[in-house]
Chain A
Amino acid sequence: MTKTLMKGNIALCEGAIAAGCQAYFGYPITPQNEVPAHMSKRMVELGRVFLQAESELAAVNMVLGASTTGARAMTSSSSPGISLKQEGISYLVGCELPALIVNVQRGGPGLGNIAGSQADYFQATKGGGHGDYRMIVLAPYSVQEMYDFAYQAFDLAEKYRNPVMILADGVVGQMMEPMDLGTQKTESRGQTKKDWVLDGCKNREPRCVRSLLMGDGDLEAHNWDLKKKYDAITKAEVRCETQGLDDAEIILVAFGISARVAKAAMRQARQAGIKVGVIRPITLWPFPEQIIADAARAGRKFLVTEMNLGQMVEDVRLAVNGKCPVEFYGRPGGGLVDQEEMLKKIKEIR
């Protein structure tokens, strides 16, 4: 196993390329600028499509167009740009089109700052755009996972004909660490045969990809069909990592880069004789609510830590359902959660 020293944003590009991504459309915004820059070279070298769009709106709608042809297409941005992409994401879901959307989160609201943040949890997991919809959300916490999840996202998106979001953050995007390019099959997969693509109606009936359903009852039926899909995703695609739950008296719940800090805090706490466990949701939707519910036993306490004012903590509370106290430690505005502060909070609530 040869390790390569790589930056998170570059690993993300290479994962998507290895998965056979055929088209990338993007727009510059910090802290994800390495993505369009790297793709502008690599995709062109590979004879694939790269285009710098005039806006985030245009980029996501270029993805929509490319996806109607069955091509593996993606776009990336950071928080303010992802707000603009919500229109397209809602249409992608309504049209049942696969795509990869990457959010390398920065601080908000508004223009915020360019530091890593986790403030878009609500936007990513609760809809974001208009209408009643869900999207698989993967939260990488290492450079390796930037690569792996970008690779896996296209399969997930195509399996369910639904966009998939990688919800990264500026820290994971910018940091460099050794990673293994051999974890996934590295040949380009290209597109599998799909019976819905628009590529000209040669030897078949014309097709239509749309989200407007004006006929009486049509939209409700469509939404119930989407619900079946969301139920299937919820059943099959929950991903979560747990550590030290067996004897834990305090369980830290964290995703993305915060989970790296939580794991370090757990080790430090255990050295000090405090039994701490960690639950790291990897899919933020579907949310690992059963794993959290099962861990919510009498006498335990939960500490949720996020780089925001408290967003995932609401889902943890729903899963815990009053069986244990759920505390929160977070930092908004682009500040990394601190291991010492976490430990202090652990001692405080113990």
Chain B
Amino acid sequence: MKKIFGKPESLKPAPHLYCPGCGHGIIHRLVAEVIDELGVREKTVAVAPVGCAVFAYDYFNFDVTEAPHGRPPAAATGIKRVLPDRVVFTYQGDGDLAAIGTAETVHAANRGENITIIFVNNANYGMTGGQMAPTTIIGQKTATTPFGRDPKRDGYPLHMCELLSSLEGVAYLERVAVYNPKNVINAKRAIKKAFQNQISGKGFSLVEVVSQCPVDWGMTPHDAIRWVEEVLVKNYPLGVYKDK
């Protein structure tokens, strides 16, 4: 019997311990498939964030290090500058990339660091129990916005693709989602492009993946998927924000 579907080599056989309905499992798989297809598993070094995806090294079957909260773009810069022929990427959540690590993100982007960033935006802090993230939308209830995000108190959601699109050093920005098969396929195309850009030396590429976090949102996996489609992507429009 011919095997036509299996785990990518870039994923370890370990079972995922992410919550039921979480988007990380899909996004990990897409990254792993892309790395396999590009044939770069043995020259890849990934930087895990602080947040749910800190456990990325338990799942990815290539070299992985972890950086302090928000610092993956700096750590990745250090790796890539020393080993420019390796494929270096960071995998970061919204708190990591857009709150505590905003400076590292903006400056790595503006330097045009030839790295790839997979940015998972699920509109809250997943690991710590669903607090307000910089990407939490107006009115969204979280563990620290029990009355809903109020811009007068909490400020406004940060739109990272829009913000980074003005920077000269950035090669590629695209926002995708993983709430249905059509979008999953499109997300994989974008992730592949972000890695191809690095391999061909085009410079800083970031893919923002709008993802679901049912447990911290207090929803069923099905409702969470529907909320992404009906609410979240209306606030975070999908599409290409820069393609140099």
Contact = CB atoms under 8 A, between A and B. Distances in A.
A212 B64 CA distance: 13
B243 to A, nearest CB: 25
A206 B103 contact: no
Given A200-B62, A202-B43, A58 B82 contact: no
A51 B81 CA distance: 9
A63 B86 contact: no
Given A202-B42, A202-B43, A58 B74 contact: yes
Contacts of B47: 65
Contacts of A137: none
Contacts of B106: 54
Given A91-B68, A208-B65, A199 B81 contact: no
Contact of B107 (A58, A67, A87, A211): A58
B77 A62 contact: yes
B68 A87 contact: yes
A308 interface: no
B66 A210 contact: yes
A64 B79 CA distance: 8
Interface string A22-45: 110100000000000000000000
A199 B74 contact: no
B104 interface: yes
B63 A67 contact: no
Nearest to B47: A65
Interface residues of B, number: 35
A212 B71 contact: no
Interface in B7-56: 41-45, 47-48, 54
A88 to B, nearest CB: 7
Nearest to B12: A206
A73 B78 contact: yes
A309 to B, nearest CB: 31
A61 B63 contact: no
Tell which of A23, A198, A199 has the most Cβ of chain B within 10 Å: A198
Interface string B79-91: 1111100110000
Given A53-B74, A58-B74, A200 B82 contact: no
B226 to A, nearest CB: 33
B241 interface: no
A270 B152 CA distance: 71
Contacts of A65: 47, 65, 67, 74-80, 82
B65 A209 contact: yes
Given A22-B82, A202-B43, A54 B107 contact: yes
29 contacts: A51-B81, A54-B106, A58-B77, A58-B103, A58-B107, A61-B67, A61-B74, A61-B75, A62-B81, A64-B67, A64-B74, A64-B78, A65-B75, A65-B76, A68-B65, A68-B75, A69-B45, A69-B78, A88-B68, A95-B65, A200-B43, A200-B45, A201-B61, A202-B43, A206-B64, A208-B57, A209-B64, A210-B64, A210-B65
6 tightest A-B contacts by CB?
Answer: A65-B78, A65-B75, A61-B74, A66-B78, A62-B78, A54-B107
Interface of B: 41-45, 47-48, 54, 57, 60-68, 71, 74-83, 86-87, 103-104, 106-107
